[in-house]
Chain A
Amino acid sequence: MRPDFYDFRLWLLIGAVLLLAAAFAAPRWTLMRDGYDVLVIVDVTGSMNTRDYSAEGRPVSRLEFVKSALREAIADLPCPSRVALGVFSERRPFLLFEPIDACANYAPLEGSIAALDWRMAWEGDSHIAAGLFRAIDMARELNADLMFLTDGQEAPPLPASGGPPFEGRRGEVRGLIVGVGGYELSPIPKYDDNGREVGFLRVDDVPHENRFGLPPRGAEEREGYNARNAPFGAAAAVGVEHLSSVREPYLQSLAATTGLEYAHLVDAPRLVKSYTDAATARPRRAEFDLRPSLGAAAGVLLFALYAAPTHFKLPSVRKPWRKRTATAQPWRRK
Chain B
Amino acid sequence: MSGLGVDYPFVLLFLVLALAPFARSALRPSSISSLTAAPPDLLSRVLDSGLTTCGVIAIAASLLGASRPFLAGAEIERIGEGAQIAILIDRSGSMNETFAGKTPAGGEESKTAASKTILRRFVDDRHHDIIGVAAFSTQPMLVTPLSDHLAATKAAIDAIDRPGLDYTNIGRGLAMALAMVKAGEADRSRAVLLVSDGAGVIDPKLQDDLRADLAKMNVNLYWLFLRTAGSPSIYDRPEGDDTPQAAPERHLDLFFKSLNTPYRAFEAESPEATQEALRQIDRLERRPVRYFEKEPRTEMSAAFILLGLFAACLLLAAKFAEIRLVPGKAKP
Q: Which of A84, A87, A123, A296 contacts B66 (CB 8 A)?
A: A296
Are A307 and B145 in contact, CB atoms less than 8 angstroms apart? no
Which residue from chain B places its CB closest to the CB of A305 in the assembled complex? Answer: B26
Is A96 an interface residue when CB atoms closer than 8 A count as contact? yes
Give the shortest distance, in Å, between B49 (CB) and chain A (any CB). Answer: 15
CA distance A226 to B73 in the complex (A): 82
Is A54 an interface residue when CB atoms closer than 8 A count as contact? no
Known A13-B312, A291-B305; judge A122-B158 contact (CB<8 A): no
Number of interface residues of A (CB under 8 A): 62
CA distance A223 to B66 in the complex (A): 81
Return chain B residues, CB-CB under 8 Å to A294: 66, 305
Give the shortest distance, in Å, between A243 (CB) and chain B (any CB). Answer: 26
Are A112 and B139 in contact, CB atoms less than 8 angstroms apart? no
Q: Which of B20, B153, B312 contacts A306 (CB 8 A)?
A: B20
Is A73 an interface residue when CB atoms closer than 8 A count as contact? no
Is A164 an interface residue when CB atoms closer than 8 A count as contact? no
With most chain B CB atoms within 10 A of its CB, the pick from A121, A295, A302 is A302
Return chain B residues, CB-CB under 8 Å to A330: 327
Are A303 and B145 in contact, CB atoms less than 8 angstroms apart? no
**Stretch from B36-44, B56-64, B250-258, B264-272 that touches the partner:** B56-64
Is B8 an interface residue when CB atoms closer than 8 A count as contact? yes
Are B152 and A97 in contact, CB atoms less than 8 angstroms apart? yes
Known A3-B319, A23-B305, A99-B155; judge A291-B66 contact (CB<8 A): yes
Are A293 and B66 in contact, CB atoms less than 8 angstroms apart? yes
**Stretch from B96-104, B159-167, B215-223, B290-298 that touches the partner:** B159-167
- The main secondary structure of chain A at its interface with chain B is helix
Return chain A residues, CB-CB under 8 Å to B31: 331
Are A306 and B66 in contact, CB atoms less than 8 angstroms apart? no
**Stretch from A103-111, A169-177, A257-265 that touches the partner:** A103-111
CA distance A145 to B322 in the complex (A): 64
Q: Which of A95, A104, A303 contacts B59 (CB 8 A)?
A: A303
Are A111 and B144 in contact, CB atoms less than 8 angstroms apart? yes
Is A205 an interface residue when CB atoms closer than 8 A count as contact? no
Is B275 an interface residue when CB atoms closer than 8 A count as contact? no
Return chain A residues, CB-CB under 8 Å to B23: 306
Are B29 and A299 in contact, CB atoms less than 8 angstroms apart? no
Q: Which of B14, B24, B149, B313 contacts A104 (CB 8 A)?
A: B149
Interface size class of B (residues with CB under 8 A): 35 or more
CB within 8 Å of B: which A88-125 residues: 92, 94-101, 104-105, 107-109, 111-112, 115, 119-123
Q: Which of A115, A122, A310 contacts B29 (CB 8 A)?
A: A310
Is B151 an interface residue when CB atoms closer than 8 A count as contact? yes
Return chain B residues, CB-CB under 8 Å to A138: 162
Which residue from chain A places its CB closest to the CB of B17 in the assembled complex? Answer: A303
CA distance A296 to B304 in the complex (A): 12
User: How would residues 227 to 238 of chain A score, 1 for a CB under 8 Å from any chain B CB and 0 otherwise?
Assistant: 000000000000
Return chain B residues, CB-CB under 8 Å to A2: 323
Are A97 and B155 in contact, CB atoms less than 8 angstroms apart? yes
Are B26 and A20 in contact, CB atoms less than 8 angstroms apart? no
With most chain B CB atoms within 10 A of its CB, the pick from A24, A27, A84, A310 is A24
Known A105-B152, A310-B29, A328-B326; judge A302-B162 contact (CB<8 A): no
CB within 8 Å of A: which B57-97 residues: 58-59, 62-68, 91
Is B195 an interface residue when CB atoms closer than 8 A count as contact? no
CA distance A1 to B63 in the complex (A): 32
With most chain B CB atoms within 10 A of its CB, the pick from A105, A123, A298 is A298
Is B201 an interface residue when CB atoms closer than 8 A count as contact? no
Give the shortest distance, in Å, between A311 (CB) and chain B (any CB). Answer: 7
Is A326 an interface residue when CB atoms closer than 8 A count as contact? no
Is A184 an interface residue when CB atoms closer than 8 A count as contact? no
Known A292-B8, A292-B11; judge A1-B149 contact (CB<8 A): no
User: How would residues 8 to 23 of chain A score, 1 for a CB under 8 Å from any chain B CB and 0 otherwise?
Assistant: 0110011011001101
With most chain B CB atoms within 10 A of its CB, the pick from A3, A9, A20, A293 is A20
Give the shortest distance, in Å, between B252 (CB) and chain A (any CB). Answer: 21
Give the shortest distance, in Å, between B282 (CB) and chain A (any CB). Answer: 22
Return chain B residues, CB-CB under 8 Å to A307: 20, 24
Known A100-B152, A107-B149; judge A14-B316 contact (CB<8 A): yes
The 3 A-B residue pairs with the shortest CB-CB distance in the complex, in nearest-first order: A295-B66, A111-B145, A115-B142
| Interface contacts beyond A1-B320, A27-B305, A296-B14: sample of 17 additional A-B pairs, CB < 8 Å, sorted by A | A4-B322, A14-B316, A16-B58, A17-B316, A24-B302, A27-B302, A94-B141, A95-B159, A96-B159, A99-B155, A107-B149, A115-B142, A292-B11, A302-B55, A306-B21, A310-B24, A330-B327
**A–B pairs, 24, beta carbons within 8 Å:** A1-B323, A4-B28, A16-B58, A17-B313, A84-B155, A94-B162, A97-B158, A98-B155, A108-B144, A108-B149, A112-B145, A122-B138, A291-B305, A292-B8, A299-B14, A299-B62, A305-B26, A305-B315, A306-B20, A306-B26, A310-B24, A311-B29, A325-B324, A328-B324
